[in-house]
Amino acid sequence: MKQLKNIVVGLLGFGNVGKGFAAVLEKNKAHIESTLGCGITIKKILVRNPDKYKDTIVPASLFTSNAEEILADPEIQIVIELIGGVQPACDYISKALQQGKHVVTANKAVIALHGKELFELADKHKVSIRYEASVGGGIPIIASLTKSLAANEIEEIVGIINGTTNYILTRMDQEGMSFQEALAEAQEKGFAEADPTSDIEGEDAAYKLSILTHVAFGVDINPREIPCVGIKQISEREIDFARQLGYKIKLLATVRKNGGSLDVHVHPALVPVEHPLAAVNNEFNALYVKGNAVGQLMLYGKGAGPLPTASAVWSDVLEMAKVIQNQIEETNTIKVKNGFKPGHISSGSNAYYIRLQVTDRPGVLGKIATSFGRNNVSLESVVQRGRGGKSVPLIFITHEAEWDKLEAALNEIKQLDTVEEVASILMVQSRS
């Protein structure tokens, strides 16, 4: 057994995740050092105002407001970026890599927007960069895709990767709350931010989906170009209709092989109750992956929170320690796999849930069904709820259809004088 030297790390940021990282070390130090085969030391922590950190679980002397004390310290081998946001985090990461330091980050925005340059920079300087915590918090999705499923061609990833929206949708479903009530509760419990826009509009999920697309397919997609629909327009009534039909409504982030291109989108969808994603409730996240050897696999856990996120950061740090101890030279860039055309993004073929509000008059269903048929949209089921009222909901679930064809059908249907409104269009997740 070779004698291993202490691992020395520097932290950028000491918010919730930074504190979680230090807390895990304090809690599990013996365990971590036994796994490492040596000691590990946090040498410095960058914060804006060191005076504010006199009473934390780490000595006050570790805090500095000068990034150079970490980035230029030759003793520090791993820089752990836990600031969040694009800048200055991205610059710090670049500098650390250029200084020949390995980097671990939990930063989805930096990896989604600047991952490619950073991976190339890491390769150039023969160091490694890891980002397990950037998607799914404590869920080991990056390790699973890059290692455990490494012999698989990935066919599909469908994720519930935003805890805020999943909490809101769960409460609306289970307690009959309105979107606003559920959001207020989520904010109260700390599952939603004061400004929840990025979560409820699906932007947060799109960032994470862009990282998953890179890791699984080697394809770089600007998260801002991912077709993205949030959950603001989902009413408790829609959730109720979905439940009656045997579905839960979830905000799904999907990337799916579609011949030589990829379908990528964030969209609220009806998930059949027997699908494992349907049982993912409250603030939990889950990633449902299909590989061409492993078949269906799902990873479920806490997608946020100081300790779960720190658990993922620690897994990267421990791997990185092995890289250092064994002087392993890793390749950080991921090549495009299976000849996908980068940039080709589509919504592909999907089954859809369509709710129309119609005037309850004889013949209305026939005309609508004819329009679907004329546009090659075939129907799996039709449900009419309510009766005799002036305006009744008419719900269709289609078989897999291309968006263009569905849109053409709906444009015809909107013209019918019995159709008051196309009240809702949602995707439907397939049963397996």
In whole angstroms, give the CA distance from residue 320 to residue 216: 21
Element holding 419 (H helix, E strand)? strand 419-428
DSSP state of 144: I
Letter for the amino acid at 271?
V
Q: Read off the DSSP letter of residue 148.
A: I
Nearer to a second copy, 31 or 361 (CB): 31
Orientation angle between helical segments 364-374 and 403-415, nearest 10 degrees: 150
Binding site for a second copy (CB under 8 A): 1-2, 20, 24, 27-28, 31-32, 34-35, 37, 132, 138-140, 143-144, 147-153, 274, 276, 278-281, 284, 291-302, 305, 307-308, 310-312, 314-315, 317-319, 322, 326-329, 331, 335, 337-338
Select which of 44, 208, 257, 290 is catalytic.
208
Shortest spacing between CB 395 and a second copy, in angstroms? 25
Strand partners, 248: 271
Q: Cβ of residue 21: shortest distance to a second copy, in angstroms?
A: 9
Pairing relationship of beta strands 261-272 and 345-346 according to DSSP bridges: parallel
CB of 40 to a second copy, least distance (A): 10
Taking the least distance from each CB to a second copy, the nearer of 122 and 354 is: 122
Q: Angle, nearest 10°, between helix axes 108-124 and 203-217? A: 30
User: Minimal distance in Å, beta carbon 194 to a second copy?
Assistant: 24
Which residue is listed with tokens 């004329």?
Answer: 374
* 124 annotated active-site: no
CB neighbour class for 20 (10 Å; exposed up to 12, middle 13-18, buried from 19): buried
For a second copy, the closer of residues 153 and 181 by Cβ is 153
Nearer to a second copy, 124 or 341 (CB): 124
SS3 content of the chain, % helix, strand, coil (to 5): 40, 25, 35
> Which single residue is written with the structure tokens 């089954």?
351
Of 23 and 382, which has the nearer Cβ to a second copy? 23
Give the nearest distance from C-beta 420 to a second copy in angstroms.
Answer: 38
Task: Please give the positions annotated as active site.
Answer: 208
